[in-house]
Amino acid sequence: DAGVTQSPTHLIKTRGQQVTLRCSPISGHKSVSWYQQVLGQGPQFIFQYYEKEERGRGNFPDRFSARQFPNYSSELNVNALLLGDSALYLCASSRLDPTPGNTIYFGEGSWLTVV
Amino acid sequence: DAKTTQPTSMDCAEGRAANLPCNHSTISGNEYVYWYRQIHSQGPQYIIHGLKNNETNEMASLIITEDRKSSTLILPHATLRDTAVYYCIVRAYSGAGSYQLTFGKGTKLSVIP
C-alpha cells in the first residue's frame, strides 16, 4: 500500500506569494496532520483534521490555513510568505479518531524555500 | 512543549545493540511514549510506541520503567542505515480532541563501522 504522499516535493516561492501544499493520506486513514520543520529543529505541529473538521491548531499565524476534502486528502495554504516560512512541511495520517494510541505515519514532506 | 529529555548524541558500533534512553518524568497515566527516527531530509519514520508494557516489533524494542518515568529504545543489531535522529515523544492531549506529537531535539545516533 502507498504511504502518505505529498506534492510538490520541492518548490521555491518569493516573499509575499502564496503556496498550496497537498497531501494524500494512507488508504483508510481519516485523520491528517500538518507539521513544519525548520532546519535543525524537530517538527512543529500546525493543524490536525479528522473527518473534514479541524481538531487541533498549533501556534501559527492566521496566514496558515488548511482543509480536508471528502476523500480525506488535505491542503495546507500559506499566504503572504516570509523568509522564515522556509522549511520542510510534513503531512501525517492516522487511521481513526486521533486518540493517543493510534499510530501516526508521516510523508516525505514538501521542501519550501522562500526567497 | 516537549516533555522528554534525551542525550544530544550517541555512538554505536555496527552490529551491536543501540540503547537510546529517554526521560519523561512528568508523564501522565494515559499518555503514550512514541519513538520516531528521521534520516536526513526525509520524513519521520515511526518505530514503536507503548503505554506501560514493554513492546517489541520488527524494528526495535521499547522498555518502559515500572514508574513510567523513563524508557529505552533498543535497536538489537545496529547497521549503518540506522544512523539518524531519534525522537522520543510523549503523546499528550492538546485540546479539541487532538493528540498531537510534540517533538524535541532528539538524539543523533551515529553507527560506526
For residue B41, the model assigns a pLDDT of 78
Q: What mean pLDDT do residues A49-76 have?
A: 93
A107 contacts on B by Cβ (under 8 Å):
43
Question: Residue B81: phi, psi to the nearest 5?
Answer: -70, -10
For residue A98, the model assigns a pLDDT of 62
- Residue A66 one-letter amino acid: A
Cell numbers for B63: 522498555
For residue B31, the model assigns a pLDDT of 87
For residue A56, the model assigns a pLDDT of 86
For residue B53, the model assigns a pLDDT of 86
Taking an 8 Å cut-off on Cβ atoms, the answer to whether A45 and B94 are in contact is yes
* Rounded alpha-carbon distances, angstroms, from residue B103 to A66, B6, B77, B100: 21, 11, 26, 10
Q: Tens of pLDDT along A3-17?
A: 999 999 999 999 999
CA distance A19 to A87: 13
Kindly report the average pLDDT of chain B as a whole number: 91
Residue B86, pLDDT above cutoff 90: yes
Q: Which residue has the higher pLDDT, A89 or B41?
A: A89
> How many CB atoms are closer than 10 A to CB A49?
24
For residue A1, the model assigns a pLDDT of 61
Q: Quick one: CA dihedral B34, B38, B44, B45, positive or negative?
A: negative
Q: What mean pLDDT do residues A50-65 have?
A: 92
3-class SS of residue B102:
coil
Q: What mean pLDDT do residues A28-38 have?
A: 94
Q: Which residues contact B59 (CB under 8 A, 6 or more apart)?
A: B47, B48, B75
Closest CA to A14 of A110, A114, A103: A114
Residue B96, pLDDT above cutoff 70: no
Q: How confident is the model at residue B28 (pLDDT cuts 50, 70, 90)?
A: confident
Q: How confident is the model at residue B59 (pLDDT cuts 50, 70, 90)?
A: very high
A positions 5-64 inside 8 Å of B (CB): 33, 35, 41-45, 48, 50, 54-58
For residue A34, the model assigns a pLDDT of 96
CA B13 to centroid of chain Cα atoms: 19
Q: What mean pLDDT do residues A21-35 have?
A: 95
Taking an 8 Å cut-off on Cβ atoms, the answer to whether A45 and B101 are in contact is yes
